[in-house]
Structure 1
């Protein structure tokens, strides 16, 4: 089962660790490849300055962002990964506290719900999903996010995907 290594400088770190564990369970229900027994992933819950530096260094974008995903496996490698063998790093995620807090306030939702959405979004990126490749891929990814969030009792963050119920 995918294990998470969490480095958290956000207030009340244990609460965010618990949220990440709940997010992972929900994501695994809609994306079974995330339950692979050899996988691990790291999550960094940091401030805007640290995520800004990562975004500048790795993406060439000189600004903070809500979530960064650094996959270590291609999707076909993940799907072909045998159950037996040494541990494999699926990838790394980094979330920026001030950006996430501001976005949650702008959306009128709790920071916890917004963070859950961004963690699911990031985990799907690590699993090889990409909303930037096509409109169809974006829709697929959004529907998976909605279904995973529903597992946690969190409303559709997009507000327009009734068909997610049947996914």
Structure 2
């Protein structure tokens, strides 16, 4: 079981999580479903985040995490699951606004994004509950409290 992570840091930002932290967080979400997988996590600025969010989701603002699942052509087997684009400036501001430790919120964004890469979604209430339950379970295994608690 292994996660092959290509970490791309293309912006200036203090206090980013380490490569090992990113690998741990991604493996929590991916290993139960794809024990040997590969992904890219790109740490980017608000400008690139906004451009991609606008181009692919029609939302003209930067966002915390974008997930781009990889779909192999028929008959081709690859362990690549896709790409996560994460804007640490947005994650940091959210952690302040929600009174959560920055790295714990970052862990949540990585796990959330990885679950999207393997097909989970939160479009309807049933799917959202399933995805949130998994996120809470994986975060608890890391010693991180429920990010959806109302009393934070």
| Fold agreement, TM-score > 0.5 | yes
Could you give the per-residue CA deviations for residues 109-134 of structure 1, whole angstroms, max 9, x where no partner exists?
A: 111011000000000000100111x2
Number of residues paired by the alignment? Answer: 146
SS at match of 2:84: strand
CA RMSD of aligned residues (A): 2.3
- When normalised by structure 1's length, the TM-score is 0.78
Alignment of 1:88 with 2:86, yes or no, is: no
Shift in CA distance, 63/107, structure 1 to aligned 2, threshold 3 Å: same
CA distance in structure 2 between the partners assigned to 1:55 and 1:16 by the alignment = 25
Query: How far off is 1:148 after superposition?
Result: 0.4
Query: How far off is 1:12 after superposition?
Result: 4.9
Partner of 1:80: none
Partner of 1:144: 134
Between Structure 1 and Structure 2, the one with more helix by share is: 1
Partner of 2:65: 67
Unmatched 5+ residue regions in structure 1? Answer: 75-84, 161-167
CA distance in structure 2 between the partners assigned to 1:12 and 1:87 by the alignment = 33
Q: Which of residues 10, 22, 26 in structure 2 aligns to 1:24?
A: 26
CA distance in structure 2 between the partners assigned to 1:47 and 1:112 by the alignment = 17
CA distance in structure 1 between the partners assigned to 2:122 and 2:38 by the alignment = 23
SS at match of 1:43: strand
CA distance in structure 1 between the partners assigned to 2:139 and 2:79 by the alignment = 26
Q: Which of residues 47, 50, 56 in structure 1 aligns to 2:48?
A: 50
Shift in CA distance, 12/87, structure 1 to aligned 2, threshold 3 Å: farther
Alignment of 1:125 with 2:116, yes or no, is: yes
Query: How far off is 1:73 after superposition?
Result: 3.6
Q: Is the 8 A contact 1:22 1:152 kept in 2?
A: no
Find runs of 4+ consecutive structure 1 residues off by over 4 angstroms. Answer: none
CA distance in structure 2 between the partners assigned to 1:46 and 1:62 by the alignment = 16
Could you give the per-residue CA deviations for residues 62-110 of structure 1, whole angstroms, max 9, x where no partner exists?
A: 1101110011249xxxxxxxxxx85332111011121111100011111
